[in-house]
Amino acid sequence: MQIEMSRRKFLQGTVAMSIVGGSAVSATNLLAKDDKVEKKLTFTTKTGEAKELKLVPTLCEMCVNKCAAIARMEDGVVTKLDPNPMFPKSKNMLCPRGNAGIQALYDPDRLKYPLVRIGEKGDGKYKRVTWDEAYEAILNGTDRFKGLAAILEEEEDNRSTIGYCAGEGMAEHTYKVFMQDKLGSSNFVNHASICLQTTVSGYALTIGGYGQADLENANYVIMAGANRAEAIVTPDTMDLFKRTKGRGAKLIVVDPRFTNTASHADKWLPIEVGTDLAFVLALTYVAIEENIYNKKFVELNFNGFEEYKEHILTSKYTPEWAEKITGIRASDIRQVARDFMAAAPRAIYYQGRRTAWSKQDFQLRRAQAIFSAMGGGIDREGGIIFGKKLPLGKHNINTPMYDNAQERIDKKAAAIIGGSGSWIGWRNTILEEKAAYPVRSMFVYKQNPMLSIPNTAKTKQLFEKMDLVVVIDTMPSDTAMMADVILPECTYLEREDPVKSFGSAQPAIALRQKVIDPMYDTKPVIEIIRGLAEKVSRPLFEITKKFDSEVQDAIKERGEESVYKEDGFDLADAFRHSQEEINKHMVVEKYGEEAYKTLLKEGVYYPNMDKFWKQISNNEFQWYPKKERFYSVVEGEFKSDVFHDTCVDEKEIAVLKKEFKTPSGKVECVLPNLAKRGVSPMPSWDDTQFTQIPEGKFKFITGRHAQFTQNSSSNNVMLLELMPENYLWINKRVAESKGIKFGDNVEVKSKVGQITIKAYPTEKIGPNNLFFIHGFGADSDGLTFAKGNGAADNHIIEDIIEPVFGSAAMHETIVEVRKV
């Protein structure tokens, strides 16, 4: 049955939803659905006939990009999200996901109330409780699970027994402040090790920063593995595809799949999965052998180049050598190296984003960075730029010291484990009981490890093993189903987030403002944390008093109240101010009241915005006049502490650099400090790290597309309409030989699991590989629209760890396929 909902009916529906479900004591399904929603439900918004209209500038949160949007509110309902032209990063665009943000707000499956588990773990039986009851359950547990107080008592105040994770987001830092700085756990994992850890670290250690590819001005771009047409990144996607197809930028796409990005390329080089490093080393070989690199730049800005040169030549990384490994013709490799250097310094080997591919990722990113730098395109227009970042004011936090809290457990999972950890290494350390102490609780914020971490079966075991799992999310994800306590966060359109400064050649500050008040009984994470902090602060301090000798001594000296208040043990003190107050303070401190008013009104602020910003045509805008932009920021050297990506913690990169920075401040070809940790100091190909494909089997790869963001948008009806399920890409001739036709159900099986999915025979993938898009295959009963659509990649991806930073190696899994 198809239920149609007009806007009016929909409005009534939302009102009804906030009333029904009030019987808090009765057992309710996790769903707590008020109207019976059929899977085919369709509803749409429409702008128009409103009596009351409000336009609120905000920032999108449908993916990590943070595009500026203007929300159109009509009679209290958000009816349209339009792009906000004031923001240089998103250049007046909203992608399909951004446009579908309304459906995330009005998703009937949203988590609406705090819930406490009353059934078995994973069966979806919860009861609705008040916020205070939820906090109480976290502190003292129920008859079903243990609370924090009991766990910390038993672990003698080792705060690190409480593990926690987070997905990328503007309030990730707020959550971290509570879990790490205030509550005191060292065991944090976030999305970095399943995303861009290796490329960010590789570039930071080699050229001083990840930087930003200036695709607006580059003349030659090698895009390997990255798929900017389908995994949209701002401003790269917008800048690049206006200039391809013979219109200024030559694009070379290196990818085992023919993607939408490849469809815009001048040349598509299908490469054997896991061999990109050999390709880059051969490019480097050609540049050295033919003496076509930028010698002046190298002389002035490189450290250890002679040694690297010697290494490349003596290792005989020739195009012919690489051809055998990569499957790319030696003549093509020579041509690409020559063309790249001829176009340099306006030539970029694109850094990449989700680089959790293979075991050699870190060396690959180092090799890319050095090759790019050999052309001289670093810290200058048309190359990799570092730009400028507008400073914001400070917000200080009083951090307590816990004597008994221990260091993180996954230090041995790889050569270098930073503050954001190795997700797989961390999980496996616990499961294999190799940790120095038990991790007994898990707090999850805005992440869905059940679907985002390779080897789902193990992630499930992890949650089953925990005494207490707390999930903060907007949707009843597969991970929420494993929670003991669920705390419903409001969506991004219902909250103000920490103000953010976006560094680039055209830097700006942007603000995610609240568009409407939170629906149901949901709250922004800062309020969730404030409430929790108030509840647990005193009782947990009692445990610290009992076990922490330093605190005991301090109390003897200065008295309990003084230690509690002045030493930061009052966990709630960091969250007393509202987000709005903090943001105002951070902006006014640096730029004054007028700037803050502009920020509220326009959603964006940068100095001289009133003079610089211009609309040139319907599609063109000026944010900074060209001569005012910050393409080059550091004279004489290109080390930069400015970091542009919102995905990785800047503080962490700063720590990394401190640990590894040589006094030279130059491009580092050789990293002796890495050698001390058993990592090759120079990019080198290692045959033993390459996974061969046995006869009759395939190497599985995963990737993204433009209508979905990982799995967080998997229940969005607008996006599901654009792509309702994922399909298995299988080479057409291979499919024929196996009698597999379009739409046939096939089973894909690896060492760790198996899935069933429909087949899409195509020539866009080679005979050695299978592929399907990430983000489908949710299993949660709470997700009416997402459940059972297609398959989830991490059910079959093996938990193989990249040895340098402990990233996931998601393209190393060998699978077999059969028709079912």
Partner 1 sequence: MARYGMALDYKNCIDCKACESACKEENGVLLGADKHRIWVGTKEVEGEFPFLSISSSGFVPSQCQHCEAAPCQEVCPTNATYYDENGVVRVDADKCILCTYCMNACPYDARYVDDRTMTVDKCNFCSDTRLARGETTTACQNTCPTKVRTFGDLDDPYSEISELLRRRDHYSLKAHLGTKPKLFYLT
Residues that bind partner 1 (CB under 8 A): 2, 4, 6-7, 42-48, 79-83, 92-96, 98-100, 102, 229-230, 232, 234, 237-238, 241-242, 244-245, 247, 258, 260-268, 270, 327, 617-620, 706-707, 717-719, 721-722, 724, 731-733, 762-767
Name which of 2 and 314 has its Cβ closer to partner 1: 2
Residue 87 CA to residue 279 CA, distance in Å, equals 37
Residue 81 CA to residue 71 CA, distance in Å, equals 5
DSSP 130: -
Residue 112 CA to residue 687 CA, distance in Å, equals 52
Which H or E element spans position 175? Answer: helix 172-176
Q: Give which of 166, 73, 256, 37 is closest to 471, Cα–Cα.
A: 166
Residue 370 CA to residue 363 CA, distance in Å, equals 11
Token duo for residue 517: 């008040």
Name which of 91 and 389 has its Cβ closer to partner 1: 91
Name which of 264 and 346 has its Cβ closer to partner 1: 264
**Vertex 327, ends 325 and 328: CA angle to 5°?**
115
CB of 270 to partner 1, least distance (A): 4
Beta strands in 413-570 (DSSP E): 441-445, 468-473, 485-488, 500-502, 508-510
Name which of 241 and 569 has its Cβ closer to partner 1: 241
Q: Give which of 196, 359, 290, 274 is closest to 700, Cα–Cα.
A: 274
CB of 96 to partner 1, least distance (A): 4
Residue 804 CA to residue 794 CA, distance in Å, equals 22
- Bridge partners for 773 per DSSP: 703
Q: Give which of 818, 816, 800, 815 is closest to 361, Cα–Cα.
A: 800
End-to-end CA distance of the chain: 29
Residue 291: count other Cβ atoms within 10 Å of its Cβ.
Answer: 8
- Bridge partners for 487 per DSSP: 472
CB of 243 to partner 1, least distance (A): 9
Q: Give which of 809, 692, 814 is closest to 354, Cα–Cα.
A: 809
Token duo for residue 652: 């962490």
Q: Which amino acid belongs to residue 760?
A: Y
Name which of 254 and 280 has its Cβ closer to partner 1: 254
Residues with Cβ within 8 Å of 257's Cβ and at least 6 positions away in sequence, in order, are 270, 701, 703, 729, 764, 765, 769, 771
* Sheet of 604-605, strands arranged across: 500-502, 508-510, 604-605
Name which of 260 and 754 has its Cβ closer to partner 1: 260
Name which of 693 and 752 has its Cβ closer to partner 1: 693
Residue 15: count other Cβ atoms within 10 Å of its Cβ.
Answer: 10
Name which of 83 and 753 has its Cβ closer to partner 1: 83
CB of 237 to partner 1, least distance (A): 6
CB of 95 to partner 1, least distance (A): 5
Token duo for residue 201: 């670290």
Question: Backbone phi, then psi, for 160, in 5-degree steps?
Answer: -70, -5
Q: b/e string for 137-170 if b means 16 or more Cβ within 10 A?
A: bbbebbeebbbbbbbbbebebbbbbbbbbbbbbb
Name which of 234 and 372 has its Cβ closer to partner 1: 234
CB 568 within 8 A of CB 400: yes
Residue 329 CA to residue 333 CA, distance in Å, equals 6
Q: b/e string for 415-426 if b means 16 or more Cβ within 10 A?
A: bbbbbbbbbbbb
Name which of 320 and 332 has its Cβ closer to partner 1: 332
Residue 455 CA to residue 461 CA, distance in Å, equals 10
Residue 241: count other Cβ atoms within 10 Å of its Cβ.
Answer: 18
Rg for the chain, CA atoms, rounded: 26
Which residue has 């030493």 as its token pair? 567
Residue 636 CA to residue 639 CA, distance in Å, equals 9
Name which of 69 and 670 has its Cβ closer to partner 1: 69
